[in-house]
Amino acid sequence: MSAIPLFAETPVEVIRNELEQTLQLQRDAYLAHPYPDLEQRKADLRKLQTFLRDHREAILDAISADYGNRSRHETLFAEFYGVIDGVDHAISHLRKWMKPQRRSVDLKNFFGASNRVIPQPVGVVGHIVPWNFPIFLCFGGLTSAFAAGNRCMVKMSENSRRLAQLLIDKAPAYFPKDKLAFFDETGGVGIEFSKLKFDHILFTGSGLTGRAVMAAASTNLCPVTLELGGKAPALVCDDFPLQKATERITFFKYFNAGQICTTADHVFVPQHKVSEFVEIARRTVSARYPSLDSPDFTSVIDERAFNRITRALEEAQERGATLVQLVPGPKWDAATRKIAPHIVLNAPADCELRTREIFGPVLPVIPYTSVDEVVNAINAGPRPLAFYPFSNDKRLIHDLIHRVMSGGVTVNDIVLHTGQHDMPFGGIGDSGMGHYHGYEGFVTFSKLRPVFYQAPFSAIKFLWPPYGKFATKYLDFLTR
């Protein structure tokens, strides 16, 4: 696995032909069997679980090799468990999700008729997967798409090349190509993939790339679900125990070396508690990661990301910020692409750490004196993918949830709303559009078709022209 070379450019014509042929193959298969029954869908979902279990060790090795070092426990917890449990949830609820819904009828005009809303597969879904949680985000999307009865083409990230190769090699033993096909990024694949006339595109990644995907999809009037990132804030209110808040925030902030789109990008802390927050964080994080070379601490994904984060740290320091290193030893190691967990104090408002999503093990701490000050600061920026208020005051939490708009909320912790199978996941504004996970994922990849069943007798016949006195009186009755 580790011997896979950097990709060589593939001619655009070759890429386009392979993608178009696969799309046509899946579309033909969809048209031949447009409505998989309950048992077929359950079988497809179980195969996703079986695939992960059969290739567990190889997948763990591939992801770690793609990262340079990825904690085995982080992959099992954040990727395998979430998918396997999510599939179980979908299977247990799928019969109910698929059932046609009864809708009411206007008895004045349509007595004896009936209405149904029938969820039907949209067809072929294009799925563009990022590198940070490639199994959870790939197979989570597949769970929703397969539950809805669709076929899928998946484009993996250029930073997941070993995993992509594994999926390409092993998936055909579980799914025919007309059901599921994986594609590696060998240069230009993503651009051509976005141009295909899919029935729906699911994209997870940066806002910049998301805009490009949406622009390409608009040519085909293809609907998109965009799961983007942003600067998700945490807010520690004065009444909440600082020890508990610090432990919970730092766990997910430095999990996967901070490379989580929903983690806390920065935290607002009462001004008089900042020093205590820093000391608790120092004790807590150094106990979890005794040194930078701990196997439990994950590498930054590539050299470009490593350089971006270290440059941002240096810029902030040069402009007067204080860098607080939470793990003893070197600040970072270019050879392993590991950056020690940091807290940053007094970072200038216009520095890169404050204006761009960090996506690394760096936590700016922003002091505040009033909650209103924090709410105004958050609302002045783009709407974040998540918001994390910490307080035991129910009225205050209610107020914060209604005043601060975000994609999702976890109260008194961070990230965990994304792991709830019976709740939708998605952003708003700059952090994305649309939802998936659970029932909302089933709905996203279904066409909820309204079907009207006319009765043997129809009162509409009284409104056929030529219009006379009865039609006039009848319409007066309906509109009075």
Query: Where do the H-state alpha helices sit in 294-425?
Result: 303-318, 352-355, 371-379, 394-403
Between β-strands 338-339 and 224-227, what pairing exists: parallel, antiparallel or unpaired?
unpaired
Cα 278–Cα 387–Cα 371 angle in degrees, nearest 5: 65
Q: Which of 227, 237, 351, 357 is catalytic?
A: 227
222 is catalytic: no
For the chain, the first-to-last Cα distance in angstroms comes to 75
User: Cα 15 to the chain's mean position, in Å?
Assistant: 26
**SS3 state of residue 424:** coil
Residue 182's Cβ-count burial label (10 Å; 0-12, 13-18, 19+) is buried
DSSP 309: H
**Cβ distance 52 to 139 under 8 Å?**
yes
**Separation in Å, CA 40 to CA 91, 412, 421:** 11, 41, 21
227 is catalytic: yes
Residues in the chain, overall count? 480
**Cβ distance 117 to 139 under 8 Å?**
no
DSSP 115: E
Q: Which of 138, 152, 222, 261 is catalytic?
A: 261
Positive or negative: CA dihedral 21, 22, 27, 33: positive
Positive or negative: CA dihedral 189, 191, 195, 201: positive
**SS3 state of residue 232:** coil
Distance of alpha carbon 251 from alpha carbon 266, whole angstroms: 14
Q: Cα-atom radius of gyration of the chain, to the nearest Å?
A: 26
Could you list the active site residues?
227, 261
